[in-house]
Structure 1
């Protein structure tokens, strides 16, 4: 028998469960990596499939020994592939250099020696038979009983209850957030389920608008995204990313008028970012954006517009750019 193909269960963005229901939930650290379903057919081999269903096994040769850890027991596991920085935290930018190499095994092997990955396991959907209908709490117990811990994989524990404390701990340690999982929830393949709730720790900072990209479709004639920057210690406006979400239709229309009034033919960023269709503006509009973290180059990840800071001038906005390379 071949193992069944099981697409991963997905979490829904939301908030912490009410305090009165806290004990009905488990809390896991939200990982910033590549989701992977792990197929162990019991013959010593391993098959890794991405969320899309793509076979990504060859991209991560250091995970092949996992195939022999359960002997002849057939299993399907759920997890996340991470690349860790020097502090042991997941760094998605590091991982990007490993992703996409499933069809280039020689390059994958070289990259594995330079940037090894770590697989975090958090669920089991099949173990000598389907476990999909079992509640999360029982699946978790079965997973932990497997004792899967090695140089390139582990099974971190989940915290039952104490959701507020768990979320606060991820913030204090600079982690992405938490995933809340109902203890009685079945595994719902391919479903974005309310049984799993993801909460991302978001930061906010002031930025200076230096340009915009035209919208398409229903946004034709309006900005599809604004290009934003922050002043470095030398006073240069350094590009930190493009922001394309967070506005209502009325706010986007208002912003379009402000951008057109500030249009100029000179790019205010130093250095000039790669944006062939950009319209440059005088750097006089200040906005507040939310974002999850920064890349090593100082770019904002997953930025979203919060508000226009009419109370601030560009000179009054925050200036320092963490992670700015020399």
Structure 2
């Protein structure tokens, strides 16, 4: 069966719905992994596509057996690929060693044995030849759970209706990334960042574009001591701070190689920040940083590096920028 390509629906950052509306919402754990749309053609095959639409099936060979989980029933599912730590929590740093191996199937197979991933499923958009995107979330969720998709490398975690504050506190108590709030009557909006889905992170984070770097000192001589980052404000890139912590040695070395390929003599920030000895780069690298708050000038206070967002384009990185950063 030829299945329709369906870009994933996206959530809007926000806070818990009002208490009076709590019973109108479902709550799911927010996972820290790689978003995927899963295509099961009903012939034993499985195709995984990243949020960008790129096929990434070869990077996760341990998920191939999912192709036969529904027999001859064709389906398009929404989910997240995770790498779990020893406590069973999603660890994006572990997952990074698995991402990007589409062109290296032998290495992907070796890592699948050493650091297997787990796929969590949370929506179904197409089933047995019928589109379900116009059905409300509650009915789609019931269809998904009825499929019984529980296996060695995949599962369908539960969702609860109501009790949002308790659900959020539980994610914090267990050190999880956050909470997803989904309106029960919401349809599936392919490719849309919808207010019918709200994401709550248990930490302040931001997607930023790397526009330059400052040379390190001492043992970091020749390496970046800090990167200069910005966020889009209309058609210009505004400087929002310098990030100098959060990398492992391997990550810093990887970042160094990437920055050298993007070197430019032109500062990408408008206005140009006061950054003596800065090396400028084309703003093509998207990073995620953790920070405590923003200054009145819009700068990130106490930022630290979390990860390189290879799953986002520079254009997509502007999605979470607040209208008023102060």
TM-score normalised per structure 2: 0.69
Structure 2 CA distance for partners of 1:150 and 1:277, relative to 1, 3 Å:
same
Check the 8 A contact 2:204/2:291 in 1, yes or no: no
Structure 2 CA distance for partners of 1:48 and 1:212, relative to 1, 3 Å:
closer
Q: Is the aligned partner of 1:65 residue 2:65?
A: yes
Instruction: Give the drift of 1:147.
Output: 0.6
Q: Which runs of 4+ in 1 moved over 3 A?
A: 210-219, 227-230, 275-278
Deviations 1:34-61 (A, max 9, x none): 0000000000010100000000000000
Check the 8 A contact 2:203/2:290 in 1, yes or no: no
Deviations 1:51-94 (A, max 9, x none): 00000000000000000011000111100000000110000011
Deviations 1:113-156 (A, max 9, x none): 11100000000011111111111001000100111001100000
Look up the match of 2:290. Answer: 303
Check the 8 A contact 2:204/2:293 in 1, yes or no: no
Check the 8 A contact 1:212/1:224 in 2, yes or no: no
Look up the match of 1:75. Answer: 75
Alignment of structure 1 residues 15-164 onto 2, 5 Å:
15-128=15-128, 129-164=130-165
Please give the secondary structure, in 1, of the residue aligned with 2:176: coil
Instruction: Give the drift of 1:304.
Output: 3.5
Larger radius of gyration: 1
Check the 8 A contact 1:214/1:277 in 2, yes or no: no
Instruction: Give the drift of 1:21.
Output: 0.2
Check the 8 A contact 2:204/2:292 in 1, yes or no: no
Look up the match of 1:269. Answer: none
Report the Cα distance in structure 2 between the residues aligned to 1:8 and 1:144, rounded to whole angstroms: 19
Report the Cα distance in structure 2 between the residues aligned to 1:26 and 1:214, rounded to whole angstroms: 36
Report the Cα distance in structure 2 between the residues aligned to 1:52 and 1:214, rounded to whole angstroms: 23
Structure 2 CA distance for partners of 1:223 and 1:140, relative to 1, 3 Å:
closer
Please give the secondary structure, in 1, of the residue aligned with 2:121: strand
Structure 2 CA distance for partners of 1:218 and 1:67, relative to 1, 3 Å:
closer
Gaps of 5+ in 1: 205-209, 231-238, 242-251, 266-274, 279-299, 309-317, 319-326
Q: Is the aligned partner of 1:4 residue 2:4?
A: yes
Report the Cα distance in structure 1 between the residues aligned to 2:279 and 2:175, rounded to whole angstroms: 34
The equivalent position to 1:226 in structure 2, one of 211, 220, 242, is 242
Look up the match of 1:184. Answer: 185
Report the Cα distance in structure 2 between the residues aligned to 1:6 and 1:215, rounded to whole angstroms: 31
Structure 2 CA distance for partners of 1:211 and 1:68, relative to 1, 3 Å:
closer
Check the 8 A contact 1:47/1:57 in 2, yes or no: yes
Instruction: Give the drift of 1:111.
Output: 1.0
Instruction: Give the drift of 1:226.
Output: 1.3
Provide the aligned length of Structure 1 versus Structure 2: 249
Report the Cα distance in structure 1 between the residues aligned to 2:109 and 2:144, rounded to whole angstroms: 29
Please give the secondary structure, in 1, of the residue aligned with 2:132: coil
Instruction: Tell me the C-alpha RMSD between the 2 structures.
Output: 3.1
Report the Cα distance in structure 2 between the residues aligned to 1:68 and 1:188, rounded to whole angstroms: 27
Instruction: Give the drift of 1:305.
Output: 5.8
